[in-house]
Structure 1
Amino acid sequence: MSTSLLGRLPAHRLVLRATRLNRVRLSSTTPPAPSSFRRSLVALAAAVGIAATAGTLGAMFPPPPIAILFPRAAPGPPADPFSPESIAFTEDLEAKLQALPLLQKLRSMPDADEWYETRPYQAFPEERRVNNLTAGALRGPGKLALYPLIRAKKDESESVVFLHLGRGVCGHDGIVHGGLLATLLDETLARTAISNLPEKVGVTANLSLNYRAPTMADQFVVIKTSLQEVKGRKATVTGRVEDLDGTLLVEATAIFVQPLYAKLLHSAQLKKAMGEPPKSDEPVLLADGQDLNPKHKHR
């Protein structure tokens, strides 16, 4: 275009034409934007990377819902609970029980001398143990591998029970059967109630449970019991199942009644099953001339 022609154009058209020329120059030097296909590849690679990372972390630290819905595979309880492998497993589990920080803490509390420890069924005759549910049928590695360890207050008003629940006592795989938890609560609550009844014999009249969270298998749990009231032949107790972190799993209230035929039952065997307080080995200190049997008529 000649200079004379440019001179004839209005000023605003000259500015517009210059702007268009600048745009053409800039577009010729600016690199082309990435294509949509390339952007899709980048997004796909990022998604795969995020998914791989999330999958790895999920496998290492599965969230509770995933662990519940898709439990890891586990072998069943051993067929022979008296095999060398089973015995070694039980001994290792007992060592872990004794080393639990919570148990060590309770043993070192200022009021520790007000409590005693006992192991139910440990002194129970074998001929009776084999036909008992928790001491016989459910006893062994993968189920109830250890006898419960009970720390009970000497006045029998409270108890703290340590148990290990194996993988073989599940309802849904990986989650302990609610019926088993009810059984364990019934037995531990009964011990506290019966210890406070006149004849030390009682039966379950009512057991009410509230399940608060799934109880996962292959872990130690703690059952805490507390005496609420005793009226004649009736005792009311409460209890709760917790994991070692203190999470409430199950809570219960129960009423136990001493039957009219209590005197006819084998209370001595019941005491062995429940776990008796250890006999005191402290020496008896006598004053000079003290009579150990004042009601006896001396000749």
Structure 2
Amino acid sequence: MDALRTRCAALAACSPFSAPARRLISTPRPFLKAQATKPYSQSTAALQARPSFLRRTINFVAIGVAFTSLGFAMTAAPALPALNGILTPATDAETLTMFTPEDQEEIQVEEYIANHWLTKEMRTRADYSESRPHLKIPETFRVNNLTAGTLRGPGKVVVPPFAWVEAGGKSIVSISYLGSGLCGHPKIVHGGFLATMLDEGLARCCLGALPHGVAMTANLNINYKAPTPAGTYVVLRGTTTKVEGRKAWVEGRIETLVAEGETPVVLAEATGLFISPRQAAMMANVMPVE
């Protein structure tokens, strides 16, 4: 019996199902726990790292707004100088430095006007402000302006006219050169151009006497006194004769520019009524005052 027991014990010790064997092939509990929790930990980290739907939506909208703003800025960029020119037009003093004659005709005309006795005299009058009013119009808009763009250039209005306006819109003196490209008949300046000069010049004369510096032509009467030869230097003179509220009456003339002591030839005379519109305050903010 003892021998049988001894043999059974020996077989049990050699059996693969014995306790020591089970301990040798069993997996440690900490390792199983780590294996089981690792996939869960990676999944949780991935979910936490992924932006929420709200955050992704905000980012998408922000990018869209940024690119839209950039596109608008690129589209509007060419218009910004013109807008700035309207809101902050050049001063009288600035306009005197904005034109540089280039070709021989421009140089000759510019020098003649600058050195003429009338120009020198007007520059000594402290009660007058000198300017080149057409240069107050932004450059991008001059191409659509008759006297500042369409009719400005070689053979026409060769250089931007000079103007001296008395304080308070009392009077004006302006000097221009009229080339051969302004003719209605051969070698004779078109009467319609003289009418345009008088219309603009007399309105400019009374700007300082009207509210907000805006004048609209209500009436203009012109009498032509003599033909105006092409290639002539002319002087426009205007005087504000009466002001009543938003209305101003102005009279003036265009005459030849002559040497000191000589009598000029009157080419055209005009009278006009100019009104500052009720919307003048708004117009003054969006239109350059010439």
Would you call these one fold, judging by a TM-score over 0.5? yes
SS in 2 for 1:113: coil
Aligned twin of 2:170? 157
In structure 2, stretches of 5+ residues that fail to align are 1-100, 259-263
Please give the alpha-carbon distance, in whole angstroms, between the structure 1 residues aligned to 2:229 and 2:153.
Answer: 18
Aligned twin of 1:106? 122
Please give the alpha-carbon distance, in whole angstroms, between the structure 2 residues aligned to 1:267 and 1:248.
Answer: 37
SS in 2 for 1:254: strand
The one of 254, 262, 281 aligned to 1:263: 281
- Structure 1 runs of 4+ off > 4 angstroms? none
The one of 135, 138, 142 aligned to 1:129: 142
1:221 aligned onto 2:234: yes
Question: Which residue type is aligned with residue 210 of structure 2?
Answer: L
1:88 aligned onto 2:101: no
CA-to-aligned-CA distance 1:255-290 (integer Å, 9 cap, x gap): 01112222232446422xx1xxxxxxxxxxxxxxxx
Residues 261, 113 of structure 1: alpha-carbon distance in 2 compared, 3 angstrom cutoff = closer
Aligned twin of 1:69? none
Q: Which has the higher helix share?
A: 2
Task: Tell me if the contact between 1:243 and 1:249 (Cα under 8 Å) persists in the aligned partners.
Answer: yes
Please give the alpha-carbon distance, in whole angstroms, between the structure 2 residues aligned to 1:264 and 1:116.
Answer: 25
For residues 173-192 of structure 1, what are the structure 2 equivalents within 5 Å? 173-192=186-205
State the 1:202 CA deviation. 1.9
Please give the alpha-carbon distance, in whole angstroms, between the structure 2 residues aligned to 1:261 and 1:115.
Answer: 28
State the 1:105 CA deviation. 3.5
CA-to-aligned-CA distance 1:206-228 (integer Å, 9 cap, x gap): 00001111111101100001001
The one of 265, 268, 282 aligned to 1:247: 265
Identical columns (%): 41
In structure 1, stretches of 5+ residues that fail to align are 1-84, 275-299
Q: State the TM-score, normalized to the length of structure 1.
A: 0.59
SS in 1 for 2:181: helix
Please give the alpha-carbon distance, in whole angstroms, between the structure 1 residues aligned to 2:214 and 2:167.
Answer: 18
Aligned twin of 1:211? 224
CA-to-aligned-CA distance 1:141-162 (integer Å, 9 cap, x gap): 1001111101121232011100
Aligned twin of 1:166? 179
RMSD of aligned residue pairs (Cα, Å) = 1.9
State the 1:137 CA deviation. 0.5
Question: Which residue type is aligned with residue 266 of structure 2?
Answer: L
Task: Tell me if the contact between 1:185 and 1:239 (Cα under 8 Å) persists in the aligned partners.
Answer: yes
Paired residue total = 186
Task: Tell me if the contact between 2:164 and 2:174 (Cα under 8 Å) persists in the aligned partners.
Answer: yes
Residues 267, 195 of structure 1: alpha-carbon distance in 2 compared, 3 angstrom cutoff = farther
Please give the alpha-carbon distance, in whole angstroms, between the structure 2 residues aligned to 1:214 and 1:178.
Answer: 9
Task: Tell me if the contact between 1:201 and 1:267 (Cα under 8 Å) persists in the aligned partners.
Answer: no
Task: Tell me if the contact between 2:184 and 2:191 (Cα under 8 Å) persists in the aligned partners.
Answer: yes
Q: State the TM-score, normalized to the length of structure 2.
A: 0.61
State the 1:86 CA deviation. 6.2
